[in-house]
Amino acid sequence: MSEIKFPIYLDHHATTPLDPRVLDAMMPYFTEKFGNASSLDHTFGYKASVAVEDAREKIANAIGARHVEIVFTSGATESDNIALLGTMSKYADRGNHLITCVTEHKAVLDTTRHLESIGKKVTYLPINEFGEIDLQELESVITTETVMISIMFANNEIGTIADVQAIGDIAHKHNVIFHTDAAQAVGHIPVNVESMNIDLMSFSAHKMYGPKGIGALYIRGIKPRVKPDSIVFGGGQERNIRSGTLNVPGIVGFGKAVEIAVKETDSENKRFREWSDLMLKEFEKVGGKLNGHPTNRLSHNLNVYFPGIESKAIINSISKEIAISAGSACTTQIVEPSHVLLAMGFDEERAHSSIRIGIGRFNTKDEIKYTINKIISSVQSISKIKI
């Protein structure tokens, strides 16, 4: 076994480390190429602008879009807000109804709650025990007032991948705009906005080994053309949809991260699937049970339930050596059971006894084996204490 560097990071759904190749690409734009991409009267601004457009082209190509359809934001949360608030405002004459799912990220759910507070109607679709919506139910709740559908591409807790193409087909059949939060998908699995009939798509650089603080919103330009209202006002940057001085180093890093992902995703997925399957197989020997879809989930995701063992007890026992997360959203004062696991029909005990493991690019098989042994040892030790 090769030497393992501690602590081992296995929380890649929360964020990813910056790939050194991404940092190398970004560095000149912090120093000698520091221009404002909107200042085109001199070479500093021109070089920055060229770099931004080069990154925009790389990102667009990776998802099957045109470069003019990529709007840079601060991240997927802002992209979600622009997509939902801007679209429901722009197309208010069409109706006031939006369809989403109970297991969306808080960036979507909190935005839909706000929309409800200003008079919009929102339908929250339930999920089955694998984290999937019922497509027939989706179609049945569409009304003449429905403006848009917003369904997450891949779930951040259990990794379940939605049938995005089928959802897009349903949306377009009924002349409804389709948005997907793809923060966990882009850079990890194949995404093509054209073939999947996606009209709006949110994603972030820091989920794919890029920098924090930069993201994008894909906005379909033709068939149909979609144009959400602005929710940030200022200098009119980004097609007057998202004003503000562009984060040039972040955008350059974003483009580089996507470029690397396009080349390496296939080999990574093969490696990650092998490792996550190995982990699950070993955890099942001590009573572990999978949360999520057995096959149709992100290769680097593993959400496991250990009956009778609180997730925080496992996490605390290994935290000096291994970084993983609980299956519940925690704050400093309260611990709430995961809304995703509860929506799957599980009770609070299961929600409080589940851990999420997110494998990443720089992990090694030795780290995975060490983690397996450490978690199993932790589960066995806690079980003895409880007895």
Residue type, 338: S
Active site residues: 330
Give the strand pairing for 301-305 and 354-358. antiparallel
Cα–Cα dist 291/243, whole Å: 41
Query: If you search the block for the tokens 């997927």, which residue do you land on?
Result: 76
Write down the H helix ranges in the chain. Answer: 20-26, 43-63, 76-81, 87-90, 106-117, 135-140, 164-173, 248-284, 311-318, 339-343, 348-351, 365-386
For the chain, the C-alpha Rg in angstroms (whole number) is: 21
Q: Label residue 139 exposed, middle or buried (CB < 10 Å: 0-12, 13-18, 19+).
A: middle
Which residue, 192, 190, 188, 182, is CA-closest to 216?
182
CA atoms of 168 and 267, how far apart (whole Å): 28
* Residue 288, number of CB atoms within 10 A of its CB: 23
CA 208, 212, 214 angle in degrees (round to 5)?
90
Say how many C-beta atoms besides its own lie within 10 A of residue 64's C-beta.
16
Phi-psi region of 193 (alpha: psi -120 to 50; beta: other; left: phi over 0): alpha
Evaluate whether 72 touches 251 at the Cβ level (below 8 Å).
yes
Question: CB-based contacts of 344: which residues, under 8 Å, 6+ apart?
Answer: 127, 128, 129, 130, 131, 158, 291
The identity of residue 158, as a single letter, is: I
